[in-house]
Structure 1
Amino acid sequence: MLSSEIFSLNVSKEPYNGRAILPDFALDRVNDAIYLVRQDAQLAYINNKACEMLGYNYQALIRLSYSDIEGELQDPDVAALWWKLSLRPEGIRFTSQHRMHNGEIIPVEVNSSAWEHEGEMLVLCVVRDVRELKQRTERYLQQEQQFRSLVENSPDLIARFDTDLRCLYANPRVLDLIGCSEEKARGWRLTDSIPFDEPGMQLFRLVSNTLASGEKSESELEARFGERAMVLHVRCVPEYDLKGEVVTILAVGRDITRLREVENEVRAAHHQLRLLASNQQERTEQERKHIAREIHDELGQHLTSLRAGLSVIGMQSKNPARVSSQVDYLMTLIDSTIQVVRDVSTRLRPNMLNMGLMPALEWLRDEFVKNGGCSCMLIVPEGKPVALSDQVVTTVFRIVQESLTNISRHARASKVSIIVQTTRDALVIQVRDNGRGFQMHSVRHDAFGLLGIKERVDMLNGQVTITSRPGEGTQLELTLPLKNQAYFPSATRDAG
């Protein structure tokens, strides 16, 4: 509202007939419409903003009375009350509606105050067109309604806090969960309301960090509401004013309890599948072991007995030459059969596995050198051997066996080394070659040899890493946890 002191500096000494009462340069720059109104509601002065706002030219508008613009003043009682209130020292401020030249009614905000000029009492009306403000207000209210409709029907927990950590808003999901009314929740301080346990302090740190840094923060909270345990993913987002300062913090919590339960169920199912696969593999190894023993012991013993019997027959025959020839042939056939039995038994499960890991690896090294024509160095710990379960020994043996098979088929290596190390809590096996190597990303998805190695290691809670580059060879490193802690210096055993 403009004061009379401002206008007193610009009042013309000329009689106030038309535009001469106030200079244009003083008031035409004002963004509000300005009227000077006599007691009979006639207009004594108007500025250009008034003409622009109502759609009149100056001559047409100055001939109207204020009641033609302000329709409510056509009632004498209302006009008398308006005049009386406007003459008070503090004037009057109110919202109203003014009629434009085209008949359209527009919302305005009016400040009326007394104005005395050359002995006559006038009313100075400063009128502001609030259509744009009203539209902005309506848009804001509409957006606020949309926001409320969204958050109040959201399954998420949504709350808004000011910079003093007082709650400005909490959606029904929050209120239902904590058992609180909207009136009671509005204004409660986060520091006074959260429980002083780990989830409560974690929520406090999230909101505080967002307020201090001006950046979003998120975390998972495990909270209990009555008898209900929940896992919440909470995300705090800063909200800024036009100056770029943080004024509120919006906290959104999503219930991911069921998601975590499903993940645990999947993890448990995967663990069960691994146990099943491990059990199946162990049963397969036991069956191989049993078949190999039966082939080696029973069938081999029978064939040996048969060979001995044939020898006796040959020595007791009346026609030694002829019988001896047949016996020699049968004995050669039996020797060949015995060797086949031994080979089949060895392929199923080498007897060396029953003697422990180190003898089994030495046998595997010797077989690789004999069949592959490549030198291979085995480095094993000296001293008292580490106590390993049959499952661990079999797993290590099969992985090294698979590695050596891959080397002989693909690596074109001239040197191979197998290094066995023990730490306080782990057994470490390394298989290295100086072959042609390969690109790790080019390994086929159906390379079940590598997948089998990884699955065997996973069953024992171990780790396996394979590194290779073209022209730089390949290294496989296997780490298995040990329950029995031991440490041995290493020794080198070479072959090739």
Structure 2
Amino acid sequence: MFKLEKEQLYLQQIFQYIQDGIMIMNHKREILMMNPSAERLTGWKLGDRVPFCSFCENRQKSPSEHTCYLIEHNEIPYFLSKMPTYHGSKIDVEMSTALMYTDGKTNEQEFLLVLRDQTLQLKEEEARISKLIIKKLIEAKEEEHKRLAQELHDGVGQSLYTVSVALQAIESYVKDNEKLNTYIEEVRNELEQVMNDIKLYSYQLRPHSIDQLGITPTLGTLVDSVQKVHPDITISLETNFEERCHPSVEINIYRVVQEALHNITKYAKASKVVIRLEKKATNLTLHIEDDGVGFNLQQVKKEGLGLKHMEERITLLGGFFNITSAHNKGTQISIQVPNWKDDFR
């Protein structure tokens, strides 16, 4: 007896607190019993009639067939549909039902109806698709950068080099014309500057070394180039990592460091920057720290796209991104990337 009472108590607790909407309705679709989740999900009350779902309203049926598929077939496993709610909108639900009771005298029937809200699942699917779209856009952007960098290096760069050689040949024919020699020298100097700019633009679009040598040598080259332009800032790269990552990991790690150094040199007024790339037992970690003026993290997150793009890149790798900053206490960026040899698709 005690065991039976305990089971009934458990069933009552389940009925009250389960997240699925559970209700009993009769053959007229009148609600005879419902749990709090059903009322919260639909807004219906005891005695209300359960409206027909979108599936039943639109399905093809014979004139003698009941509109409600659930009642007509007595029992089905489950199906997805849209159910009208009390405020006029429709919610996506997974529905299941079962014939619970048939009166032997009147032949009236009572049905169990279970509704499971699919809204959260749909939102998760939308988030997954959105994440995939962002990933594909970033990949397409990097591929375009790679193509343009190659074109600048192999196409425009080589053409300019050919012009430079031609100028040298012209110089050999006009040795006695000082004025013309001076002019040619000026043109050569300008041409060299353009060629250097082309190399720089090509490298900024996508460094060739990242595909050939990997992330560590490429970060070293990046640090050296920024150090030359900003000799007042001490930038150090500390790493115990020499392996190759998946290309998606390498280019996204590189872009994060590139963006971080850009922000530091432009806004931080820092005198020291430490970049630490390390291989841990289960992941690859990146830590970037400066001793600059810091900033209001909430304001920058709201207004700036740079931090958002950095976080998006790491999130797409299945990694963890964290940034801390405070006024006059510098900025610290911490990143962890698991499975850094895998393709993140």
Structure-2-length-normalised TM-score:
0.64
Q: Distance in 2 between matches of 1:331 and 1:435?
A: 41
CA distance in 2, matches of 1:255, 1:410: 57
After superposition, give the CA deviation of every residue in 1:235-255 in whole Å (9 maximum; x if it has no partner): xxxxxxxxxxxxxxxxxx995
Where does residue 55 of structure 2 map in the other structure?
none
Please tell me whether residue 295 in structure 1 is matched to residue 152 in structure 2: yes
Distance 2:274 2:114 in 1: 54
1:169-203 CA-to-partner distances (Å, cap 9, x unmatched) read x9x933769xxxx9xxxxxxxxxxxxxxxxxxxxx
Per the alignment, residue 8 of structure 2 pairs with 165
Q: 2:249 aligns with which of 376, 383, 392?
A: 392
Matches within 5 A, 1:372-411: 372=230, 373-381=232-240, 385-411=242-268
Give secondary structure in 1 for the equivalent of 2:23. helix
Q: In the alignment, is the contact (CA less than 8 A) between 1:431 and 1:476 conserved in 2? A: yes
Please, which runs of 5 or more residues in structure 2 have no aligned partner?
16-21, 33-74, 80-92, 96-111
SS of corresponding position for 1:305: helix
Aligned residue for 1:465, secondary structure, equals: strand
Separation in 1 of the partners of 2:178 and 2:294? 60
1:425 touches 1:484 (CA, 8 Å); kept in 2?
Answer: no
The Cα RMSD (Å) is 3.3
The answer to whether residue 320 in structure 2 is matched with residue 463 in structure 1 is yes
When residues 379 and 483 of structure 1 are mapped into structure 2, their CA distance, relative to the original with a 3 A threshold, is closer
CA contact (8 A) 1:386 1:484 kept: no
Displacement after TM superposition at 1:477 (Å): 0.5
Partner Cα separation in structure 1 for residue 26 and residue 260 of structure 2: 61
Residue from 173, 176, 185 that aligns with 1:328: 185
Contact 1:418 1:432 in 2 (8 A): yes
- In the other structure, the counterpart of 2:336 is 479
1:278 aligns to what SS in structure 2? helix
Task: Give per-residue Cα distances to partners, 1:139-196, cap 9 Å, x unaligned.
Answer: xxxxxxxxxxxxxxxxxxxxxx96672789x9x933769xxxx9xxxxxxxxxxxxxx
Please say which structure displays the higher CA radius of gyration: 1
Given that 2:25 and 2:113 are in contact with CA atoms closer than 8 Å, whether structure 1 keeps it comes out as no
Structure 1 position 368, deviation (Å): 2.6
Cα distance in 2 for residues equivalent to 1:387 and 1:164:
59
Quote the residue 1:281 is aligned against. Answer: 138
Distance 1:318 1:443, change over 3 A: closer
State whether residues 414 and 435 of structure 1, in contact with CA within 8 Å, keep that contact through their aligned partners in structure 2: yes
- Which whole-Å deviations, capped at 9, do the CAs of 1:473-493 have from their partners, x for residues lacking one? 2210011112549xxxxxxxx
Q: Are residues 310 and 360 of structure 1, via their aligned partners in 2, closer, same or farther at CA, if it must alter by over 3 Å? A: same
Aligned 1:433-444 pairs, distance under 5 A: 433-444=290-301
Question: Secondary structure of the equivalent of 1:467?
Answer: strand
Letter in 2 for 1:370: K
Residue in 1 that maps onto 2:165: 308
The separation in 2 between residues aligned to 1:320 and 1:455, in whole angstroms, is 60
Q: Which residue of 2 aligns with 1:424?
A: 281
Closer/same/farther in 2, CA of residues 164 and 403 from structure 1, 3 Å limit: closer
Deviation, structure 1 residue 335? 1.3
Counterpart secondary structure, 2:166: helix
Greater relative CO, 1 or 2 (CA 8 Å, sep 6+): 2
C-alpha distance after superposition, 1:452-496 (max 9, x if no partner) = 1111111111110112233332210011112549xxxxxxxxxxx
In 1, Cα distance between equivalents of 2:206 and 2:310: 18
Q: How far apart, in 2, do the equivalents of 1:302 and 1:285 lie?
A: 25
> Aligned in 2, Cα 1:176/1:334: closer, same or farther, shift over 3 Å?
same
User: Cα 1:174–1:378, aligned 2, differ >3 Å: closer, same or farther?
Assistant: same
1:227 and 2:77 matched:
yes
Gapped regions of structure 1 (runs ≥ 5): 1-160, 183-224, 233-252, 486-496
> Could you tell me which amino acid in structure 1 is paired with residue 78 of structure 2?
R
Matched with 1:446 is 303
Matched, 1:339 2:182: no
What TM-score does the superposition give when structure 1 sets the normalisation length? 0.46
Alpha carbons of structure 1 residues 369 and 176: separation in structure 2 relative to 1, 3 Å = farther
Q: For residue 263 of structure 2, give the secondary structure of its aligned residue in structure 1.
A: helix
Q: 1:381 to 1:254 in 2, by over 3 A?
A: farther
| Matching residue of 2:44 | none
Q: What is the aligned length? A: 253
CA apart distance, 1:315? 1.6
Output one character per residue of 1:427-465: Cα deviation in whole Å (capped at 9) or x when no partner: 100001122333444445122111111111111111101
Contact 1:314 1:320 (8 Å CA) reproduced: no
Task: Report the Cα distance in structure 2 between the residues aligned to 1:329 and 1:467, rounded to whole angstroms.
Answer: 49
1:66-86 deviation per Cα after TM superposition (whole angstroms, max 9, x unaligned): xxxxxxxxxxxxxxxxxxxxx
